[in-house]
Amino acid sequence: MPAGRKFLALALIALTGCQSGLPASSSPPMARPQPATETPLPETPDSAAARAYYAQVQQALLSQGLLRSDGGGSDTPFTDAMLARNFIRIALYDEYARGSGGAVARETSAELRRWQQPVRVAVRFGASVGAERRATDTARVASYLGRLAQVTGHPIRLDDTNPNFFVYFVSEDERRALGPTVSSILPDLSAADVAGVTNMPRSTYCVVLAQSQGASGVYQRAFAVIRAEHPDLLRLSCIHEEIAQGLGLPNDSASARPSIFNDDEEFALLTTMDEAMLRILYNPALRPGMTEAQARPIIELLARRLMGGET
């Protein structure tokens, strides 16, 4: 993924040093929505500095012709072989491995992962985010979820009744205090995992963590954090990538183009190739827990069909 974003897939029974003894089938206590305020809390010096920094980041990327929002075009053709190869690299490998000190940047092979139950997304905001900004962000998330549901054929919606995928928009100071909330939603995280959110470096624009049931490859819960200081397009790009990654596309590929799952920041928003990869991921011919060897022939067949090479 682009250097500014991060994904960590976590298997519940593989976690060590857990403080919570909740079984995977139990529902952890859920953080409730914060009341919207017409006047957000005053901006702190750290938050103001972050806002200025990310405004410069976005402007620098745009000035280089990056953060495209066109989804790809005639300058970014791809074949069924490219689609299959990129899907395998993005869906069946992890960018981060888990060690005793938390996540370590090391690509490792993995089984196919995706959701089986409906994905019920809740949007949460820190008190620093005003009512108008909350309304805009919520509407954007809801619209994007509708697109993802249509592409995947899987139930994905904004639902605050019994959510299992949380998206938090928080300021620098609010994120540092987010530890108890992260632990309540993903109760089997280690202290190092939680610190990966609360101590998120400036170079990380946003992050998502997803937990699966052991080696089943079936996602149970996910938690995304997006910086409230981001300017508009960088903020929307985080919405697009973190939610899509939390559906089961955890890695990057330098050859993936057009794609948001690439280190080069060329595309800000979900592309035609990304949609094709999501269609493959949620095709019933594939099953969570499949290895690359098991999934590869099916993936190649689905890619040919999507690209019109086979009926």
Q: What is the percent of the chain with per-residue pLDDT over 70, rounded to a whole number?
A: 83
CA distance 142 to 153: 16
pLDDT at 267 over 90: yes
pLDDT at 70 over 50: yes
pLDDT at 30 over 50: no
Mean pLDDT of 290-306: 97
Mean pLDDT of 198-222: 92
Q: Residue 118: what residue type? A: P
Q: Which domains does the chain have, with CATH numbers?
A: 5-15+44-306 (3.40.390.10)
pTM for the full predicted model: 0.87
Rounded to the nearest integer, the mean pLDDT of the chain is 87
pLDDT at residue 12, as a whole number: 33
pLDDT at 283 over 90: yes
pLDDT at residue 310, as a whole number: 57
pLDDT at residue 101, as a whole number: 57
pLDDT at 68 over 60: yes
Q: Is the peptide bond before 258 cis (omega within 30 degrees of 0)?
A: yes
Mean pLDDT of 292-299: 98
Find tokens 């997803």 and name the residue. 210
Indicate the length of the chain as a whole number.
Answer: 311
pLDDT at 144 over 90: yes
pLDDT at residue 7, as a whole number: 52
283 compared with 24, residue with greater pLDDT = 283
Confidence of residue 21 (pLDDT cuts 50, 70, 90): very low
Helix (H/G/I), strand (E/B), else coil: 176: helix
Q: Return the top range by mean pLDDT from 61-75, 183-197, 199-213.
A: 61-75
CA distance 196 to 309: 43
Mean pLDDT of 286-303: 97
pLDDT at residue 247, as a whole number: 98
- Taking phi first (over 0 means left), then psi (-120 to 50 degrees means alpha), and beta for anything else, what does residue 230 get? beta
pLDDT at residue 59, as a whole number: 98
pLDDT at residue 9, as a whole number: 53
CA distance 95 to 103: 10
DSSP 31-77: PPPPPP-SSPPPPPHHHHHHHHHHHHHHHHHHHTT-SB-S---TTS-
